[in-house]
Amino acid sequence: MKRTQRAKRTKRTKPAQRILMKGNVAICEGAITAGCQAYYGYPITPQNEIPAYLAKRMVELGRVFLQAESELAAINMVFGSAVAGARAMTSSSSPGISLKQEGISYLAGCELPAVIVNVQRGGPGLGNISGSQGDYFQATRGGGHGDYKNIVLTPYSVQEMYDLTILAFDLADKYRNPVIVLADGVLGQMLEPVTPSTISHQPIAISKDWALDGCKGREPRKIRSLLMAEGALEEHNWKLNEKYSKIKKNEVRYETYNLMDAEIVLVAFGIAARVGKGAMNIARGKGYKVGLIRPITLWPFPEKIISDTAERLHSITQSLNHLTTFLVVEMNLGQMLEDVKLAVSGKVPVEFYGRPGGGLVTQEEILEKIKQISK
Amino acid sequence: MKKIFSRPESLKETQHLYCPGCGHGIIHRIIAEVADELNIREKTIGIAPVGCAVFAYDYWNFDVTEAAHGRPPAVATGIKRVLPNRIVFTYQGDGDLAAIGTAEIIHAANRGEKITVIFVNNAAYGMTGGQMAPTTLIGQKTLTTPFGRNAERDGYPLKICELLSSLEGVVFLERTGVNSPENVLKTKKAIKKAFQNQIGNSGFSLVEVLSQCPVIWRMGPVESCKWIEKVMVKTFPLGVFKDTNRHE
Ligand SMILES: Cc1ncc(C[n+]2csc(CCOP(=O)(O)OP(=O)(O)O)c2C)c(N)n1
Ligand code: SF4
């Protein structure tokens, strides 16, 4: 199992001070620690703390902050700063992220690094401003036009809002690919202590020998996704596919809890995992053998741990004749559910509990579902 | 023997894919000459549009990026803000700048982004085969105005220089043409000024160039030049719309 970046960073020499902050602010501090040089945003609830906080901090640090005229403009400003070789970020919430999809597709096509934060709210349409997880498909399937992939990181605590934002910048540069931090409105507003990184995260030394900064002393460069020559586009897409395979191989991240003897395995991400973890602990107290798999990367999806677990659950059922099952919990109508089902591949049942935009899942509801399944 | 005329260093030695008589090639060359004369080739970053000029990055001999349709001013903003010492310009058609990208151009202008915009007005969508542009003249026939543009249904030609002239962030606006040697020289002067403004860090400059598009207009190249002079300038009068060298 690949540990989270945070886990790695806990091996520090002197204990760092813990600071109480809101999830949205943790994203800002993560971006600043990661050496984000430019931020472009447009107001939308529930992420308004991000542009408000960065408007001050980025300017204090002599970095770029700009309130764009729309999300379309903001993502294209990110595109421009990425073209110039800078670490750039934008943030928004669901309706605004829909507007950014064209730009994200261009970032993917042009192989430009960028960080896009989605503090999800309920949809469809204007929906409402309460936290939700309805944008899983949009984030993990590409979202815009064309055959591309975003790296999708999903935090479940304020600490992870901070840590995964830092990681997002590193991965974006490493793979020259857009990275989405898929958070939600609940986490955005949550207050928790954060241990800031004691490691310097200034832009890692990746030479951006493709960036446009004027052709002094070198041949001119161009950045484009238009490939009209015979076979050129297909070749480009195969090349992207090779990169995606590498990401799948190297960057899967997840955490597991109580998996050893679990017979009911929850699979949940983000805030649903947070609630699910609480439900798991209560259920354990009541004697239910419940475990939890929490994907941290939604793309690449941690399919192996799920299929391995499915294998194990299947053999428990075979040998002990115990009921075993997965229980996917999401704050939507069942989106990650499809990926879990693919990984489980029919070996054991996959149950689902979810509430769509406007609803929050609770520990009691999950517990009820666990009891129901166990009957 | 002294060489008195040659290909500018900022223009690559390659064949353009434009139609015979197209204005784009002339404007590309003017930009290249200006880049050479101002000695900015090595610090210039151009933004090519979606439109007939989409391949501009194959023609100019400096750094050029693509941008989504209409978004060059936002992309230019993103580049210029992190590289304030570079020369950043967008090159956009009238569909790109005046239809799908209206918000981006107005706000980049209004912020006074220190960039240069070359706006090519050919009164039609060239690349997609000749549909109505926001700049199509009243009565002008296009694929999507087969009976001629009707103000009642299609609205009026959008006058970008006039529109932007009220914005405080704008320092220079001029409309020129490339339909005659005289106008080509004037265009070069205007484009040079628009780049000099950026070198002087004074603010947003835009040059709107009336540009012939013979194929879509269903005219010969010479007739196209005449049409600009006789017809197009009535809706789009040439001249300087704004010139405030604020830094002086
Ligand atoms: C989002 C989007 N919508 C539509 C198009 C199709 N399209 C390509 S070029 C173009 C218009 C080009 O016209 P103009 O900007 O006037 O440039 P010209 O070709 O005349 O130089 C359109 C509509 C596109 N590429 N992307
Ligand atoms: S269609 Fe018009 S603008 Fe496009 S290349 Fe041909 S003449 Fe030029």
Q: Tell me which residue in B44, B78, B107 faces A88 most closely, judged by beta carbons.
A: B78
- Express each pLDDT in A256-302 by its tens digit: 999 999 999 999 999 999 999 999 999 999 999 999 999 999 999 99
d(CA A1, CA A22): 29
CB A11 within 8 A of CB A37: no
Q: Length of chain A, please? A: 375
Q: Where are the beta strands (DSSP E) in chain B?
A: 44-47, 63-65, 87-93, 116-121, 170-177, 204-210, 239-243
Q: Give tens-digit pLDDT for A319-355.
A: 999 999 999 999 999 999 999 999 999 999 999 999 9
Find which of A100, A116, A210, A224 to mutate to test the B interface (most B CBs within 10 Å of its CB): A224
Domains and CATH numbers, chain B: 24-123+159-213+230-243 (3.40.50.970)
Q: What is the pLDDT of residue A202?
A: 63
> Chain A 96-155, CB below 8 Å of chain B: which residues?
102-103, 106, 110
The CATH fold of domain A19-250: Rossmann fold (3.40.50)
What's the first-to-final CA gap in chain B, in angstroms?
Answer: 42
Q: How far is the CA of B154 from the centre of ligand 1 (A)?
A: 18
Which residue minimizes the CA distance to atom 4 of ligand 1?
B69
pLDDT tens, A226-269? 999 999 999 999 999 999 999 999 999 999 999 999 999 999 99
pLDDT band at A190 (very low <50, low <70, confident <90, very high): very high
Percentage above 90 pLDDT, chain A: 91
Per-residue pLDDT reduced to its tens digit, A65-103 = 999 999 999 999 999 999 999 999 999 999 999 999 999
Residue nearest ligand 2's atom 2 by CA: B213
Residues of chain A with CATH 3.40.50.920: 256-374
Q: Ligand 1: which residue has its CA nearest to atom 6?
A: B128
Gap between the Cα atoms of A129 and A370, Å rounded: 29
Interfacial A residues in 24-43 facing B (CB < 8 Å): 37-38, 40
B14-39 residue pLDDT tens: 999 999 999 999 999 999 999 999 99
Mutate to test the interface with B, among A90, A100, A215, A227 (most CBs of B within 10 A): A215
Return the ligand 2 atom nearest residue B217 CA: 2
pLDDT, chain A, mean: 94
CB < 8 Å to B76, chain A: 80
Q: Does domain A256-374 have CATH number 3.30.70.260?
A: no
For A81, the closest of B43, B79, B104 (CB atoms) is B79
Q: Which residue's alpha carbon is nearest to atom 4 within ligand 2?
A: B126
Phi-psi bin for B139: left (phi > 0), alpha (psi -120 to 50), beta? left
- Of A351, A352, A353, nearest in space to A362 by CA: A353
Higher pLDDT, A353 or A205: A353
Best to test chain B binding among A40, A67, A72, A116 (most B CBs inside 10 Å): A72
Q: Are A79 and B70 in contact (CB under 8 A)?
A: no
The alpha carbon of residue A275 is apart from the nearest alpha carbon of chain B, in Å, by 39
pLDDT of B1 reads 80
Give span(s): CATH 3.40.50.970, chain A: 19-250
The answer to whether the Cβ–Cβ distance between A77 and B81 falls below 8 Å is yes
**Angle between helices B102-110 and A71-83 in degrees, nearest 10:** 70
pLDDT per residue over A4-59, tens digit each?
A: 444 344 444 556 689 999 999 999 999 999 999 999 999 999 999 999 999 999 99
| Min Cα–Cα distance to chain A from B101, Å | 10
CA separation for the pair B197, B214 (Å, rounded): 33
In contact, B69 and B85? CB cutoff 8 Å: no
Q: What is the pTM of this model?
A: 0.95
Collect contacts of A280-283 with beta carbons under 8 A, ≥24 apart: A282/A363, A282/A367, A283/A367, A283/A370
Strand residue runs (E) in A215-296:
222-223, 254-257, 264-267, 290-295
Rounded CA-CA distance A287/A299 in Å is 34
Average pLDDT over residues B83-96: 98
